[in-house]
Structure 1
Amino acid sequence: MVFWEGHVSDELMGTFAPIIIYWLYASLYQLLPRLDRYRLHTRKEEEQKNLVSMSTVVKGVLLQQLVQAAIAQVLFMVTAEASSSVPVQPSVPVQIFQIFVAMLVMDTWQYFMHRYMHQNKFLYRHIHSQHHRLVVPYALGALYNHPVEGLLLDTLGGAISFLVSGMTPRTSVFFFCFAVIKTIDDHCGLWLPGNIFHMIFQNNTAYHDIHHQLQGSKYNYSQPFFSIWDRLLGTYMPYSLIARREGGLEARPLKD
């Protein structure tokens, strides 16, 4: 039993909980004290390098989430109609396995789509370059993408992960909320001590920062969970964290 049972349907929670979590968690990062000693970039760098205003970023994220919500509702409706009975919630171990499968599927989909959007000059220039206008990423901009990229990379990737894993709408609430939190953390620009994501995942804030900073962005395409495909296909770029003289940290690539 979950706290929303009897009040809101699992399908409605699966649609809107990730959106609510996005704005709550991202806003928490934005409202934190300055914490300059944990920033991967100075505030001056953020102001000088980023090519888009925060208001534009917020509007772009809201547009993507509008499309995401509409497609989620259609997906839940279609899968419900295809089933002859109300889905039975599996045991916790089965749900954990389904979530792990969904993580692998999402990583695979996003790696190859993300890499292709860099390698195809037309797609990069007209679509993916919008995300890289945030040269110095921050939490509220985690899902700032061109609408086409948001549809192909995130929304469609999430739908495929949901279908392949066989999870129920209730399990999907936990998976998609977790995916959103992880994505925000990867873009927050802070290397906070005790961050559990940095302990568990090598694909983390600094890992993704390398992707945003390297000229041509030929490395660290993997997102949002593991670095498996980068390692297997030669696009993995390790890094070291260096203390800056003016304070804070810098993720520095370790080139061969």
Structure 2
Amino acid sequence: MAFWDGYASDESMGTFAPIVVYWVYAGFYQLLPPLDNYRLHTRKEEDEKNSVPLAAVVKGVLLQQLVQATVAQGLFLLTSKANTSDGVDAQPSFPVQILQFIVAMFVMDTWQYFVHRYMHQNKFLYRHIHSQHHKLVVTCAIGALYNHPLEGLLLDTFGGAISFLVSGMTARTAVYFFCFAVVKTVDDHCGLWLPGNIFHMFFNNNTAYHDIHHQLQGLKYNYSQPFFSIWDKILGTHMPYDLVKRPGGGYEAKLIKPKD
């Protein structure tokens, strides 16, 4: 049983719950006080380096989510009949759902790594598409899904659809998976190193890891997102870092460059 039973279908929840979770979680970060002692960049750096206003970021995210919701509805419509018996979703056992979760995480990471990396390596794609996301040099939670519409479709929406299909999860399991993926992605872009953050404890691919990628020196490193850093380590694009305290407060992810 799920708390939405009797109020909304699993397919509707799988489509719209991740969008609601995005704005609630990103909004939480947006409403926090400055927290200068936990920022990876100063507020001055954010003002100087970021070249897009917040209103444009919100508009871009909403556009991506509109496309995302449209694709999700079509995907669930096509697959729901195969997972339904006598009008009731056939849910696998809990261990099977955990396995599906892990498979979906690996598939999403694999898809996003190679698409993301190619968007950096192809000068045309970077200049005209992926560079939009990098206008936020200093990342912020609300801009986690601020992408060119084509990138949003290829990287996030298609990545999610493929993860769903390959893992074989039902729409109900997908609700939890996509909400978790959204929370993780928002957290990776929040720009804060908060004490007790559970994602920082369990994932090497975290806020500081992704912050390296958004800096000029790290553009060709740390492509992995949103969960693990496996492909970076296997394919030589992993850039280690030291998290050090800034004299004026806050933290800085400093690259550890390989010795000559």
User: Same fold judged by TM-score > 0.5?
Assistant: yes
Show the counterpart of 1:61. 61
- Distance (Å, rounded) in 2 between the aligned partners of 1:90 and 1:82: 13
Find the partner of 1:197 among 189, 196, 199: 199
Show the counterpart of 1:149. 151
- Distance (Å, rounded) in 2 between the aligned partners of 1:236 and 1:135: 19
Find the partner of 1:237 among 239, 249, 254: 239
- Distance (Å, rounded) in 1 between the aligned partners of 2:21 and 2:215: 27
Asked if the contact 2:111–2:159 (Cα under 8 Å) also holds between the matched residues in 1, the reply is yes
Show the counterpart of 2:165. 163
Would you say 1:49 and 2:53 are equivalent positions?
Answer: no
In angstroms, what is the RMSD of aligned CA positions? 1.0
- Distance (Å, rounded) in 2 between the aligned partners of 1:100 and 1:216: 28
**TM-score, normalised on structure 1?**
0.98
Find the partner of 1:172 among 163, 174, 178: 174
Show the counterpart of 1:77. 77
For the residue of structure 1 that corresponds to 2:254, the secondary structure is strand
Asked if the contact 2:212–2:218 (Cα under 8 Å) also holds between the matched residues in 1, the reply is no
**TM-score, normalised on structure 2?**
0.97
Identical-pair percentage: 75
Q: How many residues align?
A: 256
User: Offset of 1:136 from its aligned partner?
Assistant: 0.3
For the residue of structure 1 that corresponds to 2:21, the secondary structure is helix
List per-residue Cα deviations over 1:151-201 (Å, max 9, x = no partner): 000000000000000000000000000000000000000000010000000
For the residue of structure 2 that corresponds to 1:215, the secondary structure is helix
Show the counterpart of 1:99. 101
Find the partner of 1:89 among 88, 91, 97: 91
For the residue of structure 2 that corresponds to 1:192, the secondary structure is coil
Show the counterpart of 2:15. 15
For the residue of structure 2 that corresponds to 1:250, the secondary structure is strand
- Runs of 5+ in structure 2 lacking a partner? none
- Distance (Å, rounded) in 2 between the aligned partners of 1:110 and 1:84: 30
- Distance (Å, rounded) in 1 between the aligned partners of 2:9 and 2:215: 42
For the residue of structure 1 that corresponds to 2:142, the secondary structure is helix
Letter in 1 for 2:39: R
**CA shift in 2, pair 1:96/1:84, >3 Å:** closer
- Distance (Å, rounded) in 2 between the aligned partners of 1:221 and 1:209: 11
- Distance (Å, rounded) in 2 between the aligned partners of 1:105 and 1:79: 18
- Distance (Å, rounded) in 2 between the aligned partners of 1:81 and 1:205: 39
Find the partner of 1:223 among 208, 220, 225: 225
- Runs of 5+ in structure 1 lacking a partner? none
173-182 or 214-223, larger mean C-alpha shift: 214-223
List per-residue Cα deviations over 1:40-99 (Å, max 9, x = no partner): 000010000001000000000000000000000000011124557343111111111100
**CA shift in 2, pair 1:12/1:165, >3 Å:** same
Would you say 1:246 and 2:225 are equivalent positions?
Answer: no
Would you say 1:183 and 2:185 are equivalent positions?
Answer: yes
- Distance (Å, rounded) in 1 between the aligned partners of 2:84 and 2:168: 15
Letter in 2 for 1:171: T
For the residue of structure 2 that corresponds to 1:240, the secondary structure is strand
For the residue of structure 1 that corresponds to 2:217, the secondary structure is coil
Show the counterpart of 1:26. 26
27-36 or 150-159, larger mean C-alpha shift: 27-36
- Distance (Å, rounded) in 1 between the aligned partners of 2:84 and 2:256: 54
List per-residue Cα deviations over 1:76-135 (Å, max 9, x = no partner): 011124557343111111111100000000000000000000000000000000000000
For the residue of structure 1 that corresponds to 2:92, the secondary structure is coil
